[in-house]
Amino acid sequence: MIECGWSSPEAISACVATAQSWLKTVGDLVGLGSAALLTILAGYILQLRRESAKQEAVSSERFHRAKNAELAQHQFDARIASLTEDRNTLEREKTDLADRVRLLTDSIRANAAASETVHEALEISRAGDTAFWRRPPLPLHDAGLPLQLRTSCPTLMFANQKGGVGKSTLVSNLAAYYATKGLNILAVDLDYQGSLTNQMRLQQFGPQGAPFGQALDAKTVLGQPFRKADWPKGQLDQAIITATSNIPPQRPGVPSGRLCYLANNYELSQVERAVEYSWVLNMLDDDPRYRLAAFLSHAAQELGIDYILIDAPPRFTLGFINGLAASTHLFVPTVVDAPSAQAVETFARQFADTAPRLNPTLRWAGIIGTMTTGKTSALPQPMMSIASSTEFAARNRIPNAGPFFRDATIPRTTQISQAAALGIPFLQSAELREGEIIQTLGERILDELGKDGNQKPSGLSTDVEHASTA
């Protein structure tokens, strides 16, 4: 505590000196505190800097760790995406491989089936003509077609597996004979050699007539499935040609009928071969054995046909089997000799193997002797034994087979062969028309049809529009 006196100048001076001393001491003390404070503050600041550096280092490490973690996450995600893409690729490859395996399996099965089909086709071919065609009717065809033809239009097939028996000339003569009776007749040529067609065209155009150029004919009918819409009246008139409009009536006052034909030529053989290959390999959408039956049933109704006569080829071709499936009655022309009798027996066996399954309504109606040595329609006595053996051979295979027509044969005459060079012999030769050979056989056939309930024609012509000569 400073005690100052103010009584004298000396006391005041002493007091001032004391105060100065204390002030200096206090100043010194204050200076020392500031220095210490500054020192402490500097240390604290250094400590803060060190802590900040540490924090920055930690933050930097954490930042780098975060960056590394983010990069690692990106790398991980990219790897996952790559693995996912690889998995998807593997799935696609697996699916593609499965598809290829399936296609390969299907191809192997198809090849095996095709190989089996070809093997079956070869076996069928080796088994003979009848085995080739005698499969049961497919459900694709109209099973009522043969019956429709039987009840509406008798269809007569003239066939023998032995050629050279005068079959085509016989068909043309009978067709012409029935036309003179006022009937509308359709003659169908199924033999690719076209013998019947040639006779019809000779009658139509004469020896110097137009060349063959028929667009719609037997190959058209047999080469494709039948569809009624494809055959309107106009198309039928193009395919079914009128052979001649100059048909002499059998009796005065009885108008003649219509004689028309479905033509044929060598191109049919190519069509037959193609259809037969497709048939045996199961490549068709229809049953090709019934194409003609469907066509004839339609044509008979549209054109008012009374009788259809079919000239069949001497082989079990597509044409022959279609004739068999479309017909109601079979007549077998044959030369009357031992080799021909054997051929008839073979044909009867083939018929028995095929017809009941293919066309149960078809009847073996009779055997017709051709090129006989007699002068009349009666069979010469020396040929009777061969006729009997031929008849027996047929009935041995077909118990209900019709007889050998001993009273209605066709003798070998120059008259028929010479007239055939000009057209249809029956129309070219007045002697034939007035004779009894064709008439006797024609009536004998009608009598045979009558046994099945077919009324014998009265000679009256039906009202049918006659197509103009093509």
Domain-by-domain residue ranges, the chain?
9-127, 144-450
Q: What pLDDT sits at residue 117?
A: 58
Q: Which pair of structure tokens corresponds to residue 266? A: 């060598």
| Residue 163: CB atoms within 10 Å | 13
Beta bridge partners of 363: 329
Per-residue pLDDT of the chain (470 residues; tens, 9 = 90+): 556 666 677 777 777 777 777 777 767 776 766 777 778 877 878 887 788 888 888 888 888 888 888 888 888 888 888 888 888 888 888 888 888 888 877 777 766 765 665 666 566 566 667 778 887 776 655 666 666 666 679 999 999 999 899 999 999 999 999 999 999 999 999 998 999 999 999 999 888 766 666 668 999 999 999 998 999 988 898 889 999 888 888 777 778 899 999 999 899 999 999 999 898 888 888 999 999 999 999 999 999 999 999 999 999 999 999 999 999 999 999 999 999 999 999 999 999 999 998 899 899 999 999 999 989 999 999 999 999 999 999 999 999 999 999 999 999 988 898 999 899 999 999 999 999 999 999 999 999 998 877 766 554 433 333 333 33
pLDDT at position 114: 57
Query: Can you give the pLDDT at residue 18?
Result: 77
Report the pLDDT value the prediction gives residue 46, as an integer from 0 to 100. 80
Helix (H, G, I), strand (E, B) or coil at 354: helix
- Taking the whole predicted model, whether its pTM rises above 0.85 is answered as no
Phi first, then psi: give them for residue 321, nearest 5 degrees. -70, -30
Under 8 Å between Cβ of 334 and 162: yes
Query: For the residues of 100-118, what is the DSSP string, one character each?
Result: HHHHHHHHHHHHHHHHHHH
Instruction: Give the chain's radius of gyration (CA, Å).
Output: 56
Residue 209's φ and ψ, nearest 5 degrees, are: -75, -175
The neighbouring-strand residues paired with 333 are 368
Predicted pLDDT of residue 274: 95
Query: What pLDDT shows up at residue 32?
Result: 66
Work out whether the CA dihedral 264, 265, 267, 272 comes out positive or negative.
positive
Query: May I ask the CATH architecture of the domain 144-450?
Result: 3-Layer(aba) Sandwich (3.40)
What are φ and ψ of residue 261, in 5° steps?
A: -150, 155
Q: What is the pLDDT at residue 66? A: 84
Q: CA-based angle 428:200:432, to the nearest 5? A: 25
pLDDT for res 338: 94
